[in-house]
Amino acid sequence: MKIQLTKFITLLAITASLGCGAIEDDGGDGDGDGDGDGDVDAGQDPDAPIGVLPAPIDGDSLQNPAETHFMSITGVRNFTYAESISSPDGDAEDFVEFEFPNNSNPIQNIQVSLECTFDGDAGANAEIVVFEDGVINNSTVVECNDGTQSIQVDNTKVQTARVSFASAAELTRLDYSLTVVGFQ
Ligand SMILES: [Ca+2]
Ligand SMILES: [Ca+2]
Distance (angstroms) between ligand 2 centre and the Cα of 54 equals 12
| Least confident residue range of 7-16, 47-56, 72-81, 119-128 | 7-16
Closest listed ligand to the CA of 174:
1
Q: Average pLDDT over the chain, rounded to whole?
A: 82
Instruction: Decide: 134 and 99 in contact? Cβ < 8 Å.
Output: no
Distance (angstroms) between ligand 1 centre and the Cα of 59 equals 8
Distance (angstroms) between ligand 1 centre and the Cα of 139 equals 24
Query: Does pLDDT of 35 surpass 50?
Result: no
Distance (angstroms) between ligand 1 centre and the Cα of 162 equals 10
Which tens digit of pLDDT belongs to each residue from 115-174?
999 999 989 999 999 999 999 998 889 999 999 999 999 999 999 999 999 988 899 999
Q: Strand, helix or coil at 80?
A: strand
Q: Give the pLDDT band (50/70/90) at residue 75.
A: very high
Q: Strand, helix or coil at 136?
A: strand
Distance (angstroms) between ligand 1 centre and the Cα of 53 equals 13
Residue 102 pairs in a beta bridge with: none
Ion ligand 2: residues, Cβ under 5 Å: 58, 60, 91, 94
Distance (angstroms) between ligand 1 centre and the Cα of 17 equals 51
Distance (angstroms) between ligand 1 centre and the Cα of 29 equals 38
Closest listed ligand to the CA of 94:
2
pLDDT over 70, % of the chain: 73
What does the alpha-carbon distance between residue 23 and residue 17 come to, in Å, rounded to a whole number?
10
- C-alpha pair distances (Å), 153 with each of 90, 102, 109, 131, 176: 30, 12, 6, 9, 22
pTM for this prediction = 0.73
Closest listed ligand to the CA of 60:
2
Ion ligand 1: residues, Cβ under 5 Å: 58, 83, 91, 94
